[in-house]
Structure 1
């Protein structure tokens, strides 16, 4: 029996989303920039979807720039600010997704006159408002902060940090990829400059996302071309993807996952007392559990669980194929050995208590098997 418990990596596409994509492809075959009937039909789908997304995240339609996903959205915002600013300081956290960390590190590597400050979280996985405020100075050109951590699920204090950035007129990018569909988002109320989103985290299609841009903020194109998206992101719009994204909005409710997640963690610690739950005392997304299992290699454990029919993760999906330890756990103060012994479980509304108990049983069995194999090898 297969059990899918990796919803932070991607949530299985919803039937409604797939149907919306098919309908858009068949009913509106034209290019949305074309003026004939087929083009107008495609443009109507894009405009209606933009209106719906705007209402869902608390902004106006003109603030939405459709992208290929959260990674591109983050890159566009970062490029736009840094390419048009004089050298200064960039502030982010040590637990950001690679979609933020990598472009920042790459930019600073090529522009040594810039300074990149990565603020570490406390042991609960939360970056304090005070620690971020302390490093903001007159030379700060951009602050990047994720809303919900993709590995630990820990929620960051975005509202409080946004208020400081507004006061000090520091542009702010919020990576809300893991927050969409899990907590209400009201972009305009935050007063930030940019927010990134991705459709496949909520049952929409892969390869479509959005960047929200505050009204009045000029956005520089990362890839100039035909001038689509009001000259902010060139390239023919992905009409079926946009339709599928729109159809998925509000369809997946993760709130009920908290009971299943808590059951998994409590049963795991009963059966394997050495197991550590990361960010257990921090506000978290309801579906996410990051655990450390001392003495077990995360990659080896992942393969054992895969053979048993479980889909889980040993880190973010973007890096789970690599052997490097979790940069999130290292930033939280975990040793490299512990960071390599981690497992991320991210439940969805289709998962129940039977999935939680079955996973615990599979972990106990894998632990016993690996211990026996280690004893035989010795």
Structure 2
């Protein structure tokens, strides 16, 4: 199979799996105990914390381990909202956030908070002037993703963070799609909180992290022991944490090389489709996008049918967010770009990885052309 859905998940790197294996059975100790098994687990966990911190330019003490990006987003947003609700109840976000952010904001609206959803226009990018216009005296949090999980557009996080800092507003960014793919430095980005998920960067599922800048305080969502600075109590997932740490270590070592390689494949893919298939379009800004993301739309077809045709040809792709793939409604991200419903339904997300090859891309281009032609010949939308 040619796997082109790395924005949904990535295969675990063999080095990551090897690093994790001892902590399932041989070194199985609880990291909160004081005897040697526990100390070994604790040492491995703290080494992993250092690796995560190094990848994003943080200090190890600023890394809180979670179960993944969704929990990190919830911890950041609800934790800020509940901690500072007496100061204000206004939150700013974008119209294209991942469901982990969007649904959390919708929930808080039911709790009496007010949320402003910023537009992203045709290019899929938040504009600074809209951020400035949305800020109020009671704004306590801005949460804008670093890069979109569907269309791959990269947001002006550093500029937004600078505004938030000057206004005394907490700033969170969901960086699940960027950490390990492009340089991420929490200081340069001016973020207070940043979400990470291991399975997007060749680590295991079920583990992630939240960067919490020193001096930023959150209300914990769950209560128990004092684990993770009392922000995330519960026995630590040591194998998962070790896997995340190893994935971050590998990502940091190979970041520049991998970014350049995957960018070449992405450009090959986009050019091969747009230049050879009529009425095909790229969704989102062509330049300010993730190196591995090509989000395309094709007039006259249904994206779900195209995914099934590609699957039959041995290619794994998607129409958009894996967290929303069972919904029949068009993607809220594509609708925010100003597309019509029929256009949104004809879209395809291709997200590449380092194991893909130029030959994979050529076969994919050929397969998409064949599948789109077949579907258009059957489509009343195309033949009317």
TM-score tier by shorter-chain length is over 0.9
Match of 2:346 in 1: 341
Counterparts of 1:107 and 1:159, CA distance in 2 = 26
Counterparts of 1:145 and 1:368, CA distance in 2 = 38
Counterparts of 1:249 and 1:191, CA distance in 2 = 21
CA RMSD of aligned residues (A): 1.6
Counterparts of 2:285 and 2:102, CA distance in 1 = 25
Q: TM-score, normalised by structure 1?
A: 0.95
Matched, 1:244 2:247: no
Counterparts of 2:141 and 2:376, CA distance in 1 = 48
Q: Which deviates more, 20-29 or 268-277?
A: 20-29
- Deviations 1:315-357 (CA, angstroms, capped at 9, x unpaired): 1111122222111111011111111110000011221222222
**Structure 1 residues 131-210: aligned runs within 5 Å:** 131-210=130-209
Match of 2:255 in 1: none
| Per-residue deviation, 1:254 | 3.3
| Per-residue deviation, 1:250 | 4.4
| Per-residue deviation, 1:188 | 3.2
Cα contact 1:97–1:150 (8 A) shared by 2: yes
3-state SS, counterpart of residue 116 of structure 1? strand
Counterparts of 1:206 and 1:276, CA distance in 2 = 33
Moved beyond 4 Å, runs of 4+: none
Match of 1:48 in 2: 47
3-state SS, counterpart of residue 223 of structure 2? coil
Counterparts of 1:18 and 1:325, CA distance in 2 = 37
3-state SS, counterpart of residue 362 of structure 2? helix
Cα contact 2:161–2:171 (8 A) shared by 1: yes
Cα contact 1:188–1:214 (8 A) shared by 2: no
Match of 1:108 in 2: 109
Of 272, 275, 282 in structure 2, the residue corresponding to residue 277 of structure 1 is 282
3-state SS, counterpart of residue 12 of structure 1? coil
Which sections of structure 2, spanning at least 5 residues, go unmatched?
A: 252-257
Q: Which deviates more, 307-316 or 24-33?
A: 24-33
Cα contact 1:255–1:287 (8 A) shared by 2: no
Matched, 1:357 2:383: no
Matched, 1:369 2:374: yes
Which sections of structure 1, spanning at least 5 residues, go unmatched?
A: none
Between the two proteins, the alignment pairs up a number of residues equal to 374
Q: TM-score, normalised by structure 2?
A: 0.94
Counterparts of 1:132 and 1:41, CA distance in 2 = 47
Match of 1:125 in 2: 124
